[in-house]
Amino acid sequence: MKKAIILLSGSPSGKNKFIEEAKKSSWLWNCNSRDFLGTKAHSLYWDGEKNEKYYDFTLEFLNLVNKYFYFEARYLKDQIEKFLSEDSESKTDKVKKFNTFLLIVHGVSKELVSELESEYGVFQVHISQRNLNTNIELYDTVLYEDDDNFENEVNRVIRILTKGD
């Protein structure tokens, strides 16, 4: 079984491109603590629109539950443990069979990254554009969504991380 955990950051459009390309070769799990908290907003009469008010709410909610319950770390570790304990040799969607599994973790607090790296060996992938000045030294790898070979680079990273090469 080939598995990898990727902490994905960067431009929303680039992250979407990364995920769409990864779906072609891998079975994906996605995990984002703020999205999880956002699902709780439905029971609080949220109108369903992901606007500035929604994002402000999820950030404040995250800060609050982190303060009292160390939520983000506990939630992410729980999701990672579930992913790692999954022992299926393959998964099949309606058309394709996959034997490569990725857990894509989004929106991780900077303070938590090194803890997840040391405990679980997660790999940081940052998506940017060539013309932006990114702090590339903070990440294991940086991919540029506007490069002609972006899709090939996504697949190369997945092969390396899941030891498919």
> Residue 146 falls within a domain, yes or no?
yes
Taken in order 50, 56, 59, 65, the sign of the CA dihedral is negative
> Residue 109 falls within a domain, yes or no?
yes
pLDDT (tens digit per residue) in 122-144 = 999 999 888 766 566 678 888 99
Rounded to two decimals, the pTM is: 0.87
How does residue 104 score in pLDDT terms, banded at 50, 70 and 90? very high
> Residue 37 falls within a domain, yes or no?
no
- Statement: residue 165 has pLDDT above 70: no
Positions of E strands within the chain: 2-10, 27-31, 91-92, 97-98, 100-106, 123-128, 141-144
Taken in order 18, 19, 24, 27, the sign of the CA dihedral is positive
Percent of the chain at pLDDT > 70 equals 94
What pLDDT score does 42 carry?
A: 85
Domain range for 24 is 2-32+71-161
> Residue 44 falls within a domain, yes or no?
no
Percent of the chain at pLDDT > 90 equals 79
> Residue 64 falls within a domain, yes or no?
no
CATH number at residue 157: 3.40.50
Domain count, the chain: 1
> Residue 99 falls within a domain, yes or no?
yes
> Residue 114 falls within a domain, yes or no?
yes
What pLDDT score does 130 carry?
A: 80
What pLDDT score does 69 carry?
A: 97
> Residue 41 falls within a domain, yes or no?
no
pLDDT (tens digit per residue) in 55-94 = 999 999 999 999 999 999 999 999 999 999 999 999 998 8
